[in-house]
Chain A
Amino acid sequence: MKAIVPVKRVVDPYLRIRVKSDGSGVDTDQLKMVMNPFDEIALEEALRLKEKGLITSIVVVSIGTVTCQETLRHGLALGADAAILVENEQANNSFDFANLLTEVVKKEQADLVLMGKQAIDSDANQTAQMLAALLDWPQATFISKLDINEGVAQVTRETDAGLEMLSVNLPAVFSVDLRLNEPRYATLPNIMRAKSKPLQIMSLALEYNPSQLQTKSVTPPPTRPKGTMLGSVAELVEKIKPLLFN
């Protein structure tokens, strides 16, 4: 069984970002880029499935420019078997990414896709679900536990109401939540070994005009009005009491 793990290159979540003054987007120049933390959890889960002998190979996939090779090499250093860079600069929303990933999944004849529930830049939380729709595969989102037994996955999903246990027939798309696991670190020997693992460059174009969704502007968030420092518990209670029980 082959697993595809899409990984997105994003700004390090611990850095403060700056919006470009012309409103065209976020300035990511000079900022440290990392693998999207949720995707790292997805990759870790794939590695554990492979260690348990439940899957045989893991392919990490990234969409974008050559700079994504760095993210893919990191994925290989963590233990993925092969990497694919989809060179495409047209794609700019989850639907576009889902379309390109659909092509990759079909070409690779994968049995499952494991990916982060969202990327920490666009915060869309859509690609996994759209990919499942385009492939006509079932999906399990926000999973915090995954077992696979004879072509059927049993997952625990984190929902507003609580934990949902779901059985899902493979092939399927899974999007992972934070609680699933603690990702490992890449060791130096593995980083060295990653350099000789295969990294394929695939040129894919979108088969439609990707203009259905346009970004008009990106602006800094409104600043919060300066708050009040209070002097006593009594003052605080007076302020918050009306807010608590209305």
Chain B
Amino acid sequence: MAERTIHAPHANPETTAYWAAANERKLLFKRCQACGQAHFYPRALCPFCFSERTEWQESSGQGTVYSFSVMRRAAAPYVLSYVTLAEGPTMMTNLVDCDPDAVRIGQRVRVVFKASDSGQLVPMFTPDRT
């Protein structure tokens, strides 16, 4: 099966830490030090209380599939998913290195990192068989 080209993300001053961490195979999210809530995608201002005291934290990389769909009209079918991280927030991602027909909502997954067309690593998820 042909591999899909992953288009590189364009980082900005607000997100350089996230993508630098991804290149070290670490998945970051942000937690607000004012209201205590975690959010994703990461922002400078908390989307819940608007505090500027948002802090980078490293995710365990463990999650569960909230929902998914399989693009069948692509040269290489791929799985788009929302994965709920163990830390709380749900993030958009791809499920990779798996049989699309075997994916199930609620399935345990773990983060893996795949190279985009610029070389920047991008967090994705794969079924957790441990």
A binds B: no
